[in-house]
Structure 1
Amino acid sequence: MKIVKQYTVPTVLSIAGFDGSGGAGIQADTKTISALGCYAMNVLTALPIQNTQGVRNIYEIPTQAVREQLDAIFDDIYPDAIKIGMVHNIELVELISSYLKDYRGSIVFDPVMVSTSGHKLIHDDTIQACVDLLFPQTTIITPNLDEVSVLVGRTIDNVQEMEKAGVTLLEKGCQSVLIKGGHLQTSELTSLLFQQHASPLVFKSQKIDSKNTHGSGCSLSSAIASQLAQQSPLAEAVATALDYVHEAIKGSKNLVIGKGNGPLNHFHNPSKLIIHEMER
């Protein structure tokens, strides 16, 4: 009797909001995860009405619907890694935290808290719930400078303040923190990775002159999750993900998609689906 080989693939679950224009949210996550050779799954947490010019409205997804989506995925395809994006109310924070308390895998949390125009997208009590419940459960959080400023209660706009803020966030119970430097007003961008009981790691890149950065934070966090699903060490996962997003921004700088801030070129150098032969 001929034995037919069977294969597995690295799986990544995105728990995040929607973007009908395709540049951010679960759409950016799915593109990124796929471009990096992993299999993407989604749980929808919110229905923003948005395009490249901004968010027009946000409709809530019932908490029970989110729970049932999680049930459907976990009953069938156990994710090797999870990316969490928009979680905009306390009930969702409590649900996701409780649901993942026994999860065996890496969790990347991109705390979507502030809009591009600087407005808070979630209330202070929800932010505190994220800090209390989700931060200790996640492998890494990936805030930008606006979000870090909200989390530490002061303006963070330079590398020296980023270094102080990273220590503060570790003290809040995070296992590790990547403070993204994409909003620095400098030609050279610096991102810092903080881990418990370790010195910060510094990642530098040249700033790309492009308005097509819509969904870059979503893409970075899902890229890190994709590398962690492949069992990469955290620092290596972060470095690879930062390089991926940098090249995706570079690959889209001359594209005209929409009237506002366009998306990244997620498929600038796509990988084939990674397959592993199953052990018998």
Structure 2
Amino acid sequence: MAIAPPRVLTVAGSDSGGGAGIQADLKTMLALGVHGMSVLCAVTAQNSLGVQGYWELPPEAVEAQLDSVLSDIGAQAVKTGMLASTALVEVVAARLARHGAPVVVDPVGVSKHGDRLLAEEAVDAVRQVLLPVAEVVTPNLWEVELLTGVKVESERDQRRAAEAVKAFGPRWVLVKGGHLPDAPVDLLYDGEEMHTFTAPRHDNRHTHGTGCTLASAIASRLALGDTVPEAVAAAKEYVTGALAAGFPLGAGIGPVDHGWRMRTL
């Protein structure tokens, strides 16, 4: 009888275009050798040009999905993405705190196209109830500013930004520097240790799903037994390849290629 692989749960929104959200998470988990499971929090109408609308699920539906999966199958790691509202943030945070598996929080605020995916009034709930249960939180520069008010304009600002996010209670903070004007550097910080990760910047506009993919890759590697620094390093290597292989889709920004390793064999 085959042995089940490590199990990773994504709690996020659906991307009807298939490049980000739940769809990107499950593709990443399959590519990295874990069994992906999903709790759907919101449905988006979304394509390569942007998000045309989204609809939240009722909190009781999200809670029922969480209880169904975690009570029977369990998870070695969890990734959260688009949670949309205060009520959903609170339900998810409370249930994950009881489960105890490491949680990777991608604090999704806006889409790649600038469409808001988190209600303004829900930002405080992310700070107060979701970040304290996080093993790792992975904000980009816009999300750092949304959460802390710290504006990162250079690599020197990243340490101050990481400290500001760390004050809300996550064990590790990964401040992503992909939007910095110079060579992109990601800073990982736990209050004492500081690790930096660099990668080449690829001349490819098809980057949809990058943040979802990175957070899911980190969760997958944690489930496989990596330490947090090891998981981030492995996830960065996977995402860098996916970015390099990003492909056009529709009339706008295409997705990263989650299956790039299969196509390079």
- Name the TM tier (shorter chain): over 0.9
Structure 1 runs (4+) deviating above 3 angstroms are 115-121
Deviation at 1:99, TM superposition (A): 1.0
Deviation at 1:238, TM superposition (A): 0.2
Query: Counterpart in 2 of 1:202?
Result: 196
**Contact persistence 1:36–1:270 (CA under 8 A):** no
Which whole-Å deviations, capped at 9, do the CAs of 1:82-121 have from their partners, x for residues lacking one?
0000111111111111111221321100000133354643
Deviation at 1:226, TM superposition (A): 0.2
Residue 222 of structure 2 is aligned to residue 228 of structure 1: yes
Query: Counterpart in 2 of 1:260?
Result: 252
Deviation at 1:75, TM superposition (A): 2.9
* Structure 2 residue matching 1:100: 3-state secondary structure: helix
Higher helix share: 2
Q: C-alpha distance in 1, partners of 2:154/2:116?
A: 21
Deviation at 1:251, TM superposition (A): 1.6
Deviation at 1:240, TM superposition (A): 0.5
Identical counterparts, % of pairs = 39
Structure 2, unmatched stretches of 5+, are: none
**Contact persistence 2:206–2:256 (CA under 8 A):** yes
* Structure 2 residue matching 1:206: 3-state secondary structure: coil
TM-score by length of 2: 0.95
Which whole-Å deviations, capped at 9, do the CAs of 1:38-59 have from their partners, x for residues lacking one?
1111100001110111000011
**Contact persistence 1:24–1:215 (CA under 8 A):** yes
**Contact persistence 1:48–1:59 (CA under 8 A):** yes
* Structure 1 residue matching 2:37: 3-state secondary structure: strand
* Structure 2 residue matching 1:47: 3-state secondary structure: strand
* Structure 2 residue matching 1:177: 3-state secondary structure: strand
Residue 73 of structure 2 is aligned with which of 60, 71, 77? 77
Q: C-alpha distance in 1, partners of 2:248/2:90?
A: 40
Deviation at 1:134, TM superposition (A): 0.8
Q: C-alpha distance in 2, partners of 1:101/1:149?
A: 26
* Structure 2 residue matching 1:213: 3-state secondary structure: coil
Deviation at 1:270, TM superposition (A): 4.5
Residue 60 of structure 2 is aligned to residue 68 of structure 1: no
Q: C-alpha distance in 2, partners of 1:118/1:20?
A: 17
Structure of higher CA gyration radius: 1
After superposition, residues 159-198 of structure 1 pair within 5 angstroms as 159-186=155-182, 188-198=183-193
Residue 105 of structure 1 is aligned with which of 78, 101, 107? 101
Q: Looking at both structures, which has the greater relative contact order when contacts are Cα pairs under 8 Å and sequence separation is at least 6?
A: 1
Residue 118 of structure 2 is aligned with which of 117, 122, 125? 122
* Structure 1 residue matching 2:250: 3-state secondary structure: coil
Query: Counterpart in 2 of 1:144?
Result: 140
Residue 203 of structure 2 is aligned to residue 245 of structure 1: no
Deviation at 1:71, TM superposition (A): 1.9
Residue 133 of structure 1 is aligned with which of 129, 144, 148? 129
* Structure 2 residue matching 1:108: 3-state secondary structure: strand
TM-score by length of 1: 0.90
**Contact persistence 2:163–2:191 (CA under 8 A):** no
Which whole-Å deviations, capped at 9, do the CAs of 1:21-54 have from their partners, x for residues lacking one?
1100000000000000011111000011101110
Structure 1, unmatched stretches of 5+, are: 272-280
